[in-house]
Each structure stands twice: as structure tokens, then as C-alpha cells.
Amino acid sequence: MSDACGSDSPHKEIKVWDRDSGDLLASSEPRSFAGAVLEWMPSGAKIAAVCDGKDGNECPSVVFFERNGLERSRFSVDAKVKFLKWNCSSDLLAGVVECENYDAVRIWCFSNNRWYLKHEIRYLKRDEVRFIWNPTKPLQLICWTLSGQVTVSNFVWNTAVMENSVALVVDGSNICVTPQSLSLMPPPMYLFSLKFSSHVRCMAVYCKNSKNQVAAFLSDSSLCVVELPSIETWEELEEKEFIVEASQTEMAFGSILHLEWLDSHTLLAVSHYGFSHSNDLFQTSSTEGGLRGFYLQEVELKCSEDLVPGLLTCSGWHATVSKQNTLEELVIGIASNPANKHSACVQFSRGEIQEYVAKIGINRGSLEQEHHGFSAACPWMSVVLVGSASLSKPVLFGLDEIGRLHANGRIVCNNCSSFSFYSNLADQVITHLILATKQDLLFIIDIVDIFNGELDSKYSNFVRINNRKKEENESYINIWERGAKIVGVLHGDEAAIILQTTRGNLECVYPRKLVLVSIINALVQKRFKDALLMVRRHRIDFNVIVDYCGWQAFSQTASEFVRQVNNLGYITEFVCSVKNENIIEKLYKNYVSIPCPKVPNVMLVGGLQNCPGGNKVSSVLMAVRKALEDHITESPARDLCILTTLARSDPPLLEDALKRIKVIREKELSHADDQGRMSYPSAEEALKHLLWLADSDAVYEAALGLYDLNLAAIVALNAQKDPKEFLPFLEELERMPTLLMQYNIDLRLKRFEKALRHIASAGDSYYDDCMALVKKNPQLFPLALQLFTDHTKRMPFLEAWGDHCSDEKCFEDAAAIYLSCFKLDKALKSYRAINNWSGVLTVAGFLNLGKDELLHLATELCEELQALGKPGEAAKIALEYCGDVNTGVNLLVSARDWEEALRVVFMHRREDLIKTVKNASLECASILISEYEEGLEKVGKYLARYLAVRQRRLLLAAKLQSEELAASDLDDDATSEASSNFSGMSAYTKGTRKSSAASISSTATSKARDTRRQRKRGKIRPGSPDEEMALVEHLKGMSLTVEARRELKSLLVSLMMFGEGETCRKLQQMGENLQLSQMAAVRLAEDTISNDTINEYAHTLEQYTQKVRSEMHNSEAFSWRLKIFWSHE
């Protein structure tokens, strides 16, 4: 700061030089500066100086200049400023102000382009107070005096917002009041202000039972109380200033540091006495008492004035200190206990919590030890009620200086910047915790999740989710401006959160989760109108109203819904939004976790039985339609709404809607009810409304379906169809007889059943048309048989039905139908087409075929069955119909029916065939023994490979998991890409995890790859993702089938008959070993595939074989064995 125009000039100017070069960078305009007070903001943005009142201002001003010398802003000061100091974060400016009887340290802050005086500490003039800001802690102020007293003040930013969202802002000797629930006015705007005799130092608000009270402690040691009227009357208070008088008291309060309401007539305060800046030293009467130190004081308030509705009570208050306790430790904060209106929680310097019980309580003004304290000092503290209305309990929340949010002895969040609470109930029981993090994320937390230990799983440890797949399920809201804080919450149906940015602006957000909670709360309380209004206001899917308690329950309460809403426009909007899906389980499943109360089954029985379609849309709209007819007065709007319910049904009930329009049209033509004409819309209006809701072609077809040609013509004209398209068709229909007209309309609309009924009623001359219609639409055959009862007319339909079944390869049904109409030749062909040889031979008997023809037919059937791989059935025909024993025995041997082959041989006394059967059985036993040996070897090989692959997968998965845990300790930006690469991997993964630089494969490529994988599933490809499951499937496929066990038992019996005991024993032993090994291997694989570890000692084939042998020894699976060769290991 230097002289402007010479040493004699009173004006000076600010000059800025470059530190390194010494060049003059800028200079300000000449001003009349007061002294040499000059302070540069640590951030370098502003320079603060003091100008006196000679420029035309009555009071000195603190002026702020930019570094280029231009004036930025200013504010007036009512006294001389000795010097100024910025804090280290450049957001607070403190200065020593010389007043008439004292000096004061004042602190200002800048918000939303306005400077606010936030605090004043008074000192005696003789002390010549000085101060300095802590260079590392922006909210710590250190003051000292000539007498040697040093005072360290730690400030905390507190938000003064009542539970009814009334915000109060301290500005010097004024408190600006703004009801945020009525209007969101950011500072410096406000509704009205309270004017005090001196500057406000601390303040407490009270809002319970429709009472709104404010208590303010002033820098001159005065205590002021204001009772505000009901918020509904505040519109009359706009832009008014109310002067608040100090309350009368007989004892000085000292310097009050903390102030809290216990009830509407009791305050709890922490004050100190005896220091040079304590207000009691300015009053001679208080020094005689000799009070020194910190005290916890209970202050009782009484008002001598009557409360006038709609007016503020600013005077007539009397304050008395009824109880006073000495404090040995510093108090960090006080919070009233909502569970007991006569108590409060007091927090001391190390986070300990003690509960204070008021004088009127049982313990009469004493401190009690509280068990759940904080692990560190929490300057921001709240006590709230949680639980249900009948079983609520108080819970203590606290936020410390490093951002840890504490709740009842546990840490909820480690990076919290601000928090608040939301209640959707009238009893103030808190249901949700609202917190903002230092990463500018807003979380809405269910209180029950805190005590159920589900915070990490549901809220991702309160950090940003970097996995793209989880972005849809993110449980937070991104705050758009860095550093914004939560300053208020609108409770109940408002469901809003008010944020204040660092600039000072206020922003109101409506989180989807809170909105849904408020809607659901209204639905539970049967407040359908409030729920519908919230759904419309916040653009929530209307199906929430139906889906929360289920469409069956809503259908029972639809009449109450219609009665409450009583707005046909809203009801029509709701009707048009109902759809056949559960929105709660699909769209809002991540927001709604409250279980819906179940509706008794008795309520769900009744009108829903007649619901068309039985689905959600049809049921709900039918219930709404019935409620409209019962509870809403007749009007054109009501009829249009009813038409909407018909058109929006699933499927649309267009015919019913057209019938209503037809009735209206008939009334208009008859002029019978001219007086009630205003109670329903015109037919043209109703038809246009229906055409707007539904497809015009569908409405036209529905009109045709009513067989009303005039109505169909009107619909076509209003649908703007070309007359050349529909008039010739309608004229042609009009010239036809009624039944033929209906038949042709039904054919056009593809209503074939009605068409068949109409043409069948037209007479015998249309019999051929009936037959043609039924042949084109085979589903009509049963109806045709019902309509034509005459035998001669039924037979052609039966034969035609059989021909249709035969063409469709349904030979079994075709044969039965042919038999019913005595078409035996066609029945025989149908049985032969499905190789039903018994049916063929039975029908041949009905046809009275000759011996040679029957023999020829049997020989052909035998050859066909043999070619189809059915030697057992072919053997029966050869033996029973052809009489060929040699062929029959050979076929039984091919079918491995050894016992039956021996029986046939001995029955026909063919000793020459015994040796043939014996040799074939021995050869079959030898083949099976070698197959079983090979199978045993494969079981061991497949199981060993499976265990090796499984062990390798588990080791690789454990390695990846450890790498993920190590990566999670890094910075969020560094780990975002790594976590996305590792999170979905396993030893053999089907998916691909690629970085942002990699190309993304198309959906078509993925589908083609899946198709190829399905096609190759039967193969075991080493190293493929499906190798484990393929090995298990192969092991399962090696089991002995029921047919194989039957053939094996038959072979064992026949070998015993031939005296081949040793071969029989060896075959049974090999088969038993293979079956035991296969079952043991499958069980071992199933046990290990669901575990994360493999025990090389317990998970062995030998161990599991012993278990299976002991458990399955007498089971049905081993019933094929001969007891004589059982093993007893």
C-alpha cells in the first residue's frame, strides 16, 4: 500500500509486484484506506483491506481486491477494524474490531456472493486482544491477551434446520428464517428475519408437537427466545423483520458454548465463567459470585405474554437457571434424547457420552454414564428413534473430524462428509440414514441394514462402483458439484434431500429410493390418492400401486382407490399404464426391500372368478370398471374412462366397448331420453375415443363380429378407411341371407367354430361347404361330429379325420379313427406304418385273410422287425405265425434272451440247437468280460483326469482371488481396470474380459460360439471350459442300464445251466467291479464339484468304492447278481 499522488494526499493505492522480477504487475484505484490493514488470501485470489467512511459510506468497509487491482466485493463494519487475518483454507476472515466499550474478534464467511458475520467474541479494551489462525487447521482460532491468557477455539459448521425443514441462517445480529418445505430459497434470500440487540453467538431450535421455537445466545450475554407460529400462516410474514427482546434473568450466563432444548420450556446450556472474554466480566454483579470454569446449566423459561395465533412471540420471556453442575472436562456437543423429553446426551472431549436427566425427572438434574460412546470426539452428533412405533429405541450417531460416522459403538462409514435422517412416519421414528461421502456420493441407507450388518454387501463399502455390470445396481447418487453438503431433509410424502453447494446454492433432489418408500408407505396406509399424486409427480411407473401388494389385493380395494382419487383424468392415466409384469420385482427391485403384508385368502375370493383372461391387466381393469360404475356419477367422462378400461384389457374387450357405443347410438336415434343426454357422450365422440385407444383394424373387425353392418360402416368411416375397400364388401354381405352373412364374416375374422355352426345351420345344401371348411381347419372335426348326428353324415367326417391324422403321421390315432368308421384296410396300413405287428395281425383277422396271405404278411413283418433291431418281437412272429423254430431261436439269441431261447429249444425238442445256444452264450460272455475290463480302465482314467483338472481350477481361482484382494488396497483409479479383468475369471472361463482398448465381440459371434459349444458337448476336449462337466457326464453314461442288467442276469442263468460256473463267476465279478467303480467315481465327482478343496486322502476311488459296496450291497441296482458268486470283501 503506497501513497497515490504524493505524501500530502489522503488517498492510497494497492500495488502488486512480481516476487521474482520485481516488476509492477497491477495497482488499484486511489482509495481512502483506514490504516495499513492489508491481508492477502492464502489461495491468492483476493486481497482484503479496510476503507474508512470518507468515500460516502457511513461506516468503514472491508473491501476485497483481485490480484489485478480491481475491486471484487465489500461489506460494511460498524466499528474500526484494527487488523484482519485469513484462515489457511481461505474461506474464513477474522478481524479485531474496536468498539466503544470493548474489542471484539469477529469472523466472517462468504457464501452465494454475500458476506455473513458468523461469530463475535468480546474482550475488555485493556486486554488488547490479538489472534492467529492455526496454519494447518482451518477452523482453529488462537487468541491471546496482554495478561497472558491464551484461548484456543475450535469451530464447527452446524446446520440449523428444524425437523419441519425450516432453515435459519445467522448473519450478525440477524437470524434469517426460510421454510424450505414451502419454497427453496437459497441464501441470502429469506422469508423473514429476526433482529437481536447484538450479534448471535449460538442458537438452538425446537420443533415438536406443532411448536417452533428458537433460542439464541448473544455476544452481550443475553438469552433470547422466539416462538414462531404455525408454518401455514407464514405467507403473511414475508419480508418482515421482527425485533426480539432479551429474556429477563437474575444471573449472568457467562459465555454459552452449547445450547440445546430439552422441552418447550427447558434449555440445557454449557457455559464458562472467569475468562477475560467471558461475558460475565462485563457485568459487575456476576463477578461477585466468584464462578470460574465450565458449568452445565438447566434453564427454565416462562412467558408472560399470551400466544397469539399467526404472530411471533418475541418478548415477555423470563429465564431462570434451575440447576447447575460443574464440568471437569470439555464438552464437545449436546443432543436431546427423543425417547425422553427431559433428557439429553452430553459428549465430552474423548467421545464419552453421559446422559443428563432434567430436574423434573427422577434423578433431578444429574449426569449418568452412557454405555455406548464414540471411539473419538464427534463434533456432529444426533440422537434419533429407530425401530417401530411401539418398540422404538434411541440410537446415537456421531461424525468425527476425519469423516468416520459412528452409530452405537460401531463405525458405519469411513469417508462421510455430512449426514441426516429421513422418517416416513408421523411419530418421527427414523427409517433411513442419508449420508454424503467425501467422494461426492449420496447414499440412502435403511436403518435396519446398519444393525443387520448388511452395509458392505448392499452399499459397496460406500465407494464408487467401477464394475460396469454393477452400474445398473448402484446404490448411490452422484452429487453433481464437489463438496456439497446435506443441509435438510423433507420427511413423509415430500421425500426430498436438500443439498448446499460450496458456493451457497441450494439444490433439492428426490431420490428414487425415498420416493418409492413414501409411495409404499401411503399404499400400506390405504392413502391411494396421495400415492397416485406422488407417482405422477415423480414419474414413477403406475404399476407400483398395483404390484406392491399384488394385483389380487388391489382388485379387492379398487373401489376405495376410485373413491379416493375421484379424478377421471388421473384414473384414465392409471388405466393406460397397467401392464402384465411385476414392476416391483423387475424395475424397482434394487430400491424396494420392504415386504408387502400378505392379504388374507378370504379377500381374494369373489369377483375375480369372472375375470376374462385371469391375468393382472384384465383383473385390475375389470375391478376399476366396476368401481367406476358403482361410485362415480354418470357423465361423459365416466363413460369414456370405462371405454378405456375395455380397450386396454388383455385381450382388448372391443366388442363390449362397441356394444356400449351401440346403445348410445340407439338412444340418440330414438330420442327417448333427451333429459339424460348430458350423462353420456355422443356415439361419435365415444367411437373416436375408442379408435384412439385401439387399432382401427381391430375395432373394425370387432364391429363386423357383432354382425352390425351399419356400425361397421360407421367405424370404417371414422377410421378414415377408403370406401372403395369396405363398401363393396358390406353391400355384398347385406344381400346375403343372415346365416350366410354371419358365416362369411366369421370366415373373414377366422372364427371357424362360429362359421361351422352357422353354415351347418344353413341346410343340407351346404354340406360340402362344411366338409371343405373342416378339412381346411382340422381342429373342427370334434365340433363337426357333434353337429352332425346322422350316421351317414358322420362317416365321411370320420374318414376324413383319419386321413388327416395319417397325413400328419399320427398313425395310432388314425388307426383308431379308421376302426370307428370300419375302414379296416386303412387301419391295417396305419398299424403297419408304426410297426404295431399285433395290431396288424388283429386287423388281418377281422379281414379274414387266407392262410397263405397271413403267412406272407407274418414273414414280411418278421423281416421288418428284424431290420428295425427288434429281434425279440420278430422271434415271436417267427415262432407263433410262421412256425420256423430255427429262425425263432436265432432271433432270441440275437436279442440275448438266453432263457427264453433254451425254453423254446426244449419245448420243440430240438437238441441240435442246444449247442448253438451254448456257443453263442459263451461268446457273448467273453465279449462282455473284455468290455467290462476296458470300462474299468476308462473309469479310472476319466476320474484321474477329472481330479487333476478340478485341482488346477481351484488353485488358479485361489491365486486370482488373492490378486484381487491385493489390488483392492490400491487407489480407485488404479484398481478399476484390474478388478474388471480379474473379477470374472476362473481356471477355464467362457466369457472374455477385455480392457477398453480391446475390441468387443458382437452378439452374433457369441451366439455362434455357443451353438458350436452345444454341438461339441458330447466330446471331451482337454483344456476346454466344459472339460470337467464332460468328464462327469461320460462317467454317468457308463452305468449299466436296466436292459443291460436284465440281459446280464439271463446270460448268467443260462451259463449256470450249461455248467460254465467259472465263466459265470468271472463275468459276474467283472460286471460288479465295473458297476461299483462307476457309481463310486460319479459320487466322488459330485462331492468335489461343489467343494473348494480336494482331500487327496479322502477323495480316492478306493475309499468311495468301499462306501458304495457297503451301502448298495442289497440295492435294486445289484439285483442281477447270482447269490452263489457274491463277493464278501
The average pLDDT across 488-504 equals 90
Amino acid found at 465: I
Q: How confident is the model at residue 1005 (pLDDT cuts 50, 70, 90)?
A: very low
| pLDDT recorded at residue 1000 | 33
Residue 150: strand, helix, or coil:
strand
More confident residue, 546 or 603: 546
* Average of per-residue pLDDT across 241-259: 89
Confidence of residue 1007 (pLDDT cuts 50, 70, 90): very low
**Distance linking the first and last C-alpha atoms of the chain:** 109
Comparing 1016 with 452, which gets the higher pLDDT? 452
Torsion sign (Cα): 389, 391, 393, 399: negative
Predicted pLDDT at 301? 92
**Quick one: residue 994, left, alpha or beta (phi over 0 = left, psi -120 to 50 = alpha)?**
beta
Question: Is the per-residue pLDDT at 610 higher than 80?
Answer: no
1008 Cβ partners below 8 Å, 6+ apart? Answer: none
Question: Is the separation of the CB atoms in 1129 and 1109 below 8 Å?
Answer: yes
Q: How far is CA 746 from the centre of its chain?
A: 48
* Average confidence (pLDDT) over 510-538: 93
pLDDT at site 363: 52
Most distant CA atoms of the chain, gap in Å: 154
The residues facing 343 across adjacent strands are: 357
Q: How far apart are CA 570 and CA 575, in angstroms?
A: 9
pLDDT at 609: 43
Please report which confidence band the pLDDT of residue 993 belongs to, taking 50, 70 and 90 as the band edges.
very low
Reported in sequence order, the residue ranges of 583-701 that DSSP labels E, i.e. its strands, are none
Q: Is the pLDDT of residue 981 over 70?
A: no
Please report the pLDDT score of residue 899 as a whole number. 81
- Kindly report, residue by residue over 1089-1103, the tens digit of the pLDDT: 877 777 777 788 888
Contact in structure between 259 and 203 (CB atoms under 8 Å): yes
Is the pLDDT reported for residue 48 higher than 80?
A: yes
Q: Given the C-alpha cell 350423462, which residue does it identify?
A: 679
∠ CA 527-532-536, rounded to 5°: 155
**pLDDT (mean) for 782-804:** 89
φ, ψ (nearest 5 deg) of residue 759? -70, -30
pLDDT band of residue 438 (cuts 50, 70, 90) is: very high
- Higher-confidence residue of 221 and 908: namely 221
pLDDT at 178 exceeding the cut of 80: yes
pLDDT of residue 1020: 67
Tell me, what amino acid is at 645? T
Cα–Cα distance for residue pair 158/784, rounded to 1 Å? 86
Locus of grid cell 452445565: 296
Assign 474 a pLDDT band (cuts: 50, 70, 90).
low
> Which of 288 and 595 is assigned the larger pLDDT?
595
Please state, in angstroms and rounded to a whole number, the distance separating the CA atoms of residues 470 and 472: 5
pLDDT over 90 at 928, yes or no = no
3-state DSSP assignment of residue 514: helix
pLDDT category at 909 given cuts 50, 70, 90 is: confident
pLDDT of residue 702: 92
Stretch 586-604: mean pLDDT:
61
- What's the CA gap between 13 and 710, in Å, rounded? 96
What pLDDT is stored for residue 600 in this prediction? 44
Predicted local distance difference test score (pLDDT) of residue 676: 60
Q: Flag whether pLDDT at 896 surpasses 90.
A: no
Q: Are strands 485-490 and 293-303 parallel, antiparallel or unpaired?
A: unpaired
Banded model confidence at residue 555, pLDDT cuts 50, 70, 90: very high
Distance CA 881, CA 859 (A): 8
The pLDDT score that the predictor gives to residue 49 is: 93
Q: Is the pLDDT of residue 1001 over 60?
A: no
pLDDT of residue 762 exceeding 90: no
Strands of the sheet with 366-369, listed across from one edge: 331-336, 343-348, 353-357, 366-369
And the C-alpha cell for 506? 441450494
Residues in the chain: 1129
Give the residue with greater pLDDT, 297 vs 978: 297
Give kind and range of the element (H or E) at residue 529: helix 528-538
Output the 3-class SS for 316-329: CEEEEEEEEEEECC
- Tell me which of 25-39, 702-716, 993-1007, 1067-1081 is least confident: 993-1007
pLDDT at position 603? 40
State how far the alpha carbon of 519 is from the alpha carbons of 531, 537, 542, 562, 1097, in Å. Answer: 5, 11, 11, 17, 59
Q: Report the C-alpha gap between 1110 and 195 in whole angstroms.
A: 94
pLDDT at position 611 is 47
pLDDT given for residue 167 in this prediction: 92
Residue with the bigger pLDDT between 658 and 600: it is: 658
If DSSP codes are grouped into helix, strand and coil, which group holds residue 18?
A: coil
Residue 668 is predicted with a pLDDT of 83
Residue 672's pLDDT band, with cuts at 50, 70 and 90, is: low
State pLDDT tens for residues 816-854: 888 888 888 888 888 888 888 888 888 888 888 888 888
Answer yes or no: are the C-beta atoms of 306 and 289 closer than 8 Å: no
Coil, strand or helix: which one is 1064?
helix
Question: Mapping DSSP to helix (H, G, I), strand (E, B) and coil, where does residue 205 land?
Answer: strand
What's the rounded Cα separation, in Å, for the pair 262 and 274?
27
Read off the pLDDT of each residue in 739-767 and give the average, rounded to a whole number: 90
Compute the distance between CA of residue 596 and CA of residue 614 in angstroms, rounded to an integer: 22
Q: Is the CB of residue 502 less than 8 Å from the CB of residue 482?
A: yes
Q: What pLDDT does residue 486 have? A: 93
- Regarding predicted confidence, which is higher, 883 or 393? 393
For residue 836, give the C-alpha cell: 404295431
Residue pair 443/435 in contact (Cβ under 8 Å)? The answer is yes
**Distance from CA of residue 355 to its chain's centroid?**
39
- For residues 853-882, give the mean pLDDT: 82
Provide the pLDDT confidence category of residue 86 given band limits of 50, 70 and 90: very high
Model confidence at 349, pLDDT cuts 50, 70, 90, reads: confident
Q: Report the interhelical angle of 914-967 vs 1061-1089 (nearest 10°).
A: 20
Q: What is the pLDDT of residue 996?
A: 34
pLDDT grade for 276, boundaries at 50, 70 and 90: low
Grade residue 287 by pLDDT with cuts at 50, 70 and 90. very low
What's the whole-number average pLDDT of the chain?
83
User: For residues 639 and 21, what is the distance between their CA atoms, to the nearest angstrom?
Assistant: 87
H or E segment and range at residue 154: strand 150-154
The HSE-up count of residue 65 (CA atoms within 13 Å, CB side) is 24
Grid coordinates belonging to 1070:
467283472
E-assigned strand segments in 209-342: 211-218, 223-228, 241-243, 255-263, 266-273, 293-303, 317-327, 331-336
63 vs 41: CA distance, rounded Å: 13
**396-411 tens-digit pLDDT:** 999 999 999 999 888 9
Structure confidence at residue 472 (pLDDT)? 53
Question: Is the per-residue pLDDT at 533 higher than 90?
Answer: yes
Neighbours of 714 (CB within 10 A): 18
Residue 845: count of CB within 10 angstroms of its CB? 10
Please give the average per-residue pLDDT across 414-433, as a whole number. Answer: 87
Q: Average pLDDT of 644-649?
A: 93
Query: Out of 29-33, 78-82, 981-985, which region has the weakest mean confidence (pLDDT)?
Result: 981-985
| Residue 1 CB contacts under 8 Å (≥ 6 apart), including other chains | 12, 13, 14, 15, 33, 36, 38, 49
Query: What integer pLDDT is reported at residue 1128 of this predicted model?
Result: 47
Q: Tell me how far the alpha carbon of residue 1095 is from its chain's centroid.
A: 41
- Identify the bridge partners of residue 416 per DSSP, sorted by sequence position: 437
| Averaged pLDDT for residues 941-946 | 85
Give the pLDDT band (50/70/90) at residue 285. Answer: very low
pLDDT the model gives residue 557:
93
- Is the pLDDT reported for residue 197 higher than 60? yes
Cα–Cα distance, 728 to 663 (Å, whole number): 26
**What was the pLDDT predicted at 371?**
61
The whole-number average pLDDT for the span 519-529 is 92
Instruction: Please report the pLDDT score of residue 673 as a whole number.
Output: 59
pLDDT band at 907 (very low <50, low <70, confident <90, very high): confident
Whether the upstream peptide bond of residue 612 has omega within 30° of 0, thus cis, is no
pLDDT tens digit sequence for 1018-1033: 566 676 777 778 888 8
Q: How confident is the model at residue 235, as a pLDDT? A: 85
pLDDT, position 39: 92
Would the pLDDT of 205 be above 60?
yes
